[in-house]
Chain A
Amino acid sequence: MSDFETVAASENQAARRGPSGEPGAPNQVGGTSTLAGKPRSLAGDAWRDLRRKPIFWISLLLVLLFTGMAAVPGLFTSNDPADCVLARQHAGPSAGAIFGYDFQGCDTYARAVYGTRASLLVGALSALLTGVIALVVGMLAGFFGRWVDAVLSRVIDVVLGIPLLLAAIVLLKRVSSDSSTVRIAAIIFVLAVLGWTTAARVVRSSVITAKEQDYVAAARMLGAGNGRIMWRHILPNALAPAVVVLTIALGSFIAAEATLSFLGIGLKDPTISWGQDIDTGRVHMRESAIPLLVPSTFLALTVLAFIMLGDAIRDAFDPKLR
């Protein structure tokens, strides 16, 4: 739950970024540059800032590493995670298995590598779904204002008041299927349904700033309809802060999935998940600690990588800190 504090804390800063987008705005009014014109100038500055930060490169490297691991786990280990022989339970590191074997006699490292896919899949897809909900709700609330805003803002308040972990426990207890696809889809759905509010607020505030801009008035004068204005002029402004918030949220969604799997209501066997392996490793830590340490390290590094990456990008995009 606390990971969402990070997101909440970032919300303020990301929301503040709204008006700062203005310096690039004249380009757009001139009509000479296309959509990409404005973000590029701001992004150009941010990029120069980011390039000098070691924390950005480290986290980017980690994100790429884990994405690669999720895509082609076979590149990182030649062992089969399902090849478990009880006879080698808690056997120490050897040439065949660099981190030894776990309680079930499976290769600890191979399991951690193959567990990356489910974690990243849940994280990325919930962030994506969250983004879609947040963009739609935030855009409608921010653009139309009045009663639409009033209703949607109250909905956001109410959903924000629901404790994520508790609600997720109740929702997921209902899913009895053991099929891995169903469970993954259920977790994604639950996390997105409970977790979209912060991003929606960020989108709403950037839409409110963007719609007051001169170029929006100009577009309206030229006869553009609501749909076109929203799509061509306001969406690009709302996108950047939303993406930053969602990068951080991706990290916390991965942590949330692992927590749910740890509790025994998230992913279940035969899906390999870090949360479950951490739980098994925890129970048998007195016999051998490696099966606890390896998935713990993988999970912590992944979550940290996404949070640090989002943090670094946000700082770079925040001119107040420059």
Chain B
Amino acid sequence: MFRFILRRLLQMVLAFFGTTLIVYALMFAGQGDPIQALAGERPVTEAQRAYLTEKFHLDQTGVGGFFYRYFDYIKNLVQGDLGESLTGRQIGDILAAAWPVTVKLALIAMTVAVLFGVTAGVLAGIRRASIFDNSTLVLTLLVLGIPTIVLAPLAQYFLGVRWQVFPPTAGSDPDFYALLLPGIVLGSLSLATALRLTRTSVAENLRADYVRTARSKGLVKRRIVGVHVLRNSLIPVVTFLGVELGNLMSGAIITEGVFNIPGVGFNLFRGIRTEDGPLVVGIVSVLVVVYLVSNLVVDVLYAVLDPRIRYE
């Protein structure tokens, strides 16, 4: 167990350095004269140039200099100093304002996925090959197959603009009602996957020996399903939802962009549109860390929850 956690941790560290190195190399290194790029069209005085060169260690050349500046970037990242966006705001401040909204949205999406996904999955697993089971299979395939860039605008158009069931956009400081439709759109993919996972795992567990034993003891079906099967079936679902929570926090770029929700994804969306390099890099760096850490936590949790996992 200890070895497993250690190995997983090492892997994460490798992935962390790998991705940040790629991010850094592509965004900052080798782009001509960074000082002139910073100043735009205006001329740079000798004193300013000397000061900036000193500040960002630009006098170090070659591979050594590259790594020198890379570790500067990592150091700032770890300390939470993400620099300024092109609009002059601290990226840390932008993110601090955006996180609560994104977390709220992710929680709504997660609630939708758990409520409907797990319930429908259990029902489909119990009545395998029934009409209900087959129709949920087709429906989930549709949801999994339709990209978010189609799903989100269509939901916005039909439910927000045409039939006006929900507010079409959220705007600044959105309330629960405004976040509901985006939450459902965002959660629909997790819902479909959770449903399929639950269904397979319930159907598999229903054939297990302990279920036969429970049945022959004369237990009522509700107890067999509710206590015996459900407990064992939900392990993979719980881990999947754990990974999804990490994904939802970072993966809401399209949904937040389409519905105008001022979360982290929206800021990234806007950063890409307005060619705000520092903002994109800052957010991507943070999101990569969130993604890696949430994956790590889930992997370890999985190993703790399910003793059948081999640690090798």
Contact = CB atoms under 8 A, between A and B. Distances in A.
Contacts of A286: 161
Given A1-B247, A173-B277, A265-B272, A165 B253 contact: yes
Contacts of B47: none
Residue from B148, B150, B258 with most neighbouring chain A CB atoms (10 Å): B150
Given A1-B251, A259-B149, A263-B253, A169 B280 contact: yes
B273 A264 contact: yes
Given A161-B295, A166-B284, A173-B277, A311 B148 contact: no
Given A1-B247, A169-B272, A304 B189 contact: no
A282 B291 CA distance: 29
Interface string A22-59: 00000000000000000000000000000000000000
B272 A167 contact: no
A174 B258 CA distance: 24
Contacts of A265: 272
B156 A285 contact: yes
Main secondary structure of the interface of B (DSSP, over half): helix
Interface string A297-313: 00110011001100100
Q: Report which residue of A263, A308, A311 has the largest number of chain B beta carbons within 10 angstroms of its beta carbon.
A: A263
A229 to B, nearest CB: 27
A169 B251 CA distance: 12
Contacts of B277: 173
B227 interface: no
A278 B292 contact: no
B142 interface: yes
Interface stretch (B19-27, B51-59, B87-95, B212-220): B19-27
Contacts of A303: 145-147
Contacts of A278: 149-150, 153
B18 A171 contact: no
A281 interface: yes
B67 interface: no
A213 interface: no
**Residue from A170, A251, A279, A285 whose CB has the most chain B CB atoms within 10 Å:** A170
Q: Is the interface of A mostly helix, strand, loop or mixed?
A: helix
Contacts of A170: 22-23, 26-27, 280-281, 284
Interface string A263-291: 11100000000010011011001100100
Contacts of B257: 263
Contacts of A158: 11, 14-15, 18
A113 interface: no
B123 interface: no
Nearest to B31: A174
Interface residues of B, number: 50
A281 to B, nearest CB: 7
A263 B280 CA distance: 13
A163 interface: yes
Interface residues of A, number: 46
A258 interface: yes
A287 B92 CA distance: 38
A171 B190 CA distance: 27
Contacts of A6: 144-145, 193
B150 A300 contact: yes
A5 interface: yes
Contact of B145 (A162, A293, A308): A308
A9 B258 contact: no
A314 B153 CA distance: 31
A255 interface: yes
A161 B12 contact: yes
Q: Would you list the 3 A-B pairs with minimal beta carbon distance, nearest first?
A: A2-B189, A304-B145, A161-B15
29 contacts: A1-B247, A1-B251, A2-B251, A3-B147, A6-B144, A6-B193, A162-B15, A162-B19, A163-B287, A165-B251, A166-B284, A169-B280, A170-B27, A173-B277, A174-B27, A255-B149, A259-B147, A259-B149, A265-B272, A285-B153, A289-B157, A289-B162, A296-B154, A299-B149, A300-B145, A300-B146, A303-B147, A304-B146, A307-B144
